[in-house]
């Protein structure tokens, strides 16, 4: 994947956002309103697809 320079923007009183390039989203096959997991690893932010935990029936 290519890198892209983005600005951090204020979106609310306590929230900030960074937009993702559309070609990144298309390559990852993500959809609008899809849930993702955002985690911090050292000085990097990692964004991964969210997977629901499967529940066992008793």
Structure tokens given for 34: 């899809």
pLDDT tens track, the chain, 58 positions: 567 899 999 999 999 999 999 999 999 999 999 999 999 999 999 999 998 777 777 6
Model pTM score:
0.69
Q: List the beta bridge partners of residue 10.
A: 16
Give the per-residue pLDDT at 1.
Answer: 56
Q: What are the strands, taking DSSP E only, across 1-58?
A: 9-10, 16-17, 36-41, 44-49
Farthest CA pair distance, the chain: 50
CB burial string 19-31: b at 16+ within 10 A, e below: eeeeeeeeeeeee
What is the per-residue pLDDT for 55? 73
């Amino acid at each position: 994947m290519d890198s892209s320079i983005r600005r951090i923007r204020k979106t609310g009183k306590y929230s900030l956002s960074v937009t993702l390039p559309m070609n990144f989203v298309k390559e990852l096959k993500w959809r609008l309103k899809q849930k993702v997991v955002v985690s911090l690893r050292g000085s990097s932010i990692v964004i991964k697809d969210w997977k629901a935990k499967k529940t066992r029936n008793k």
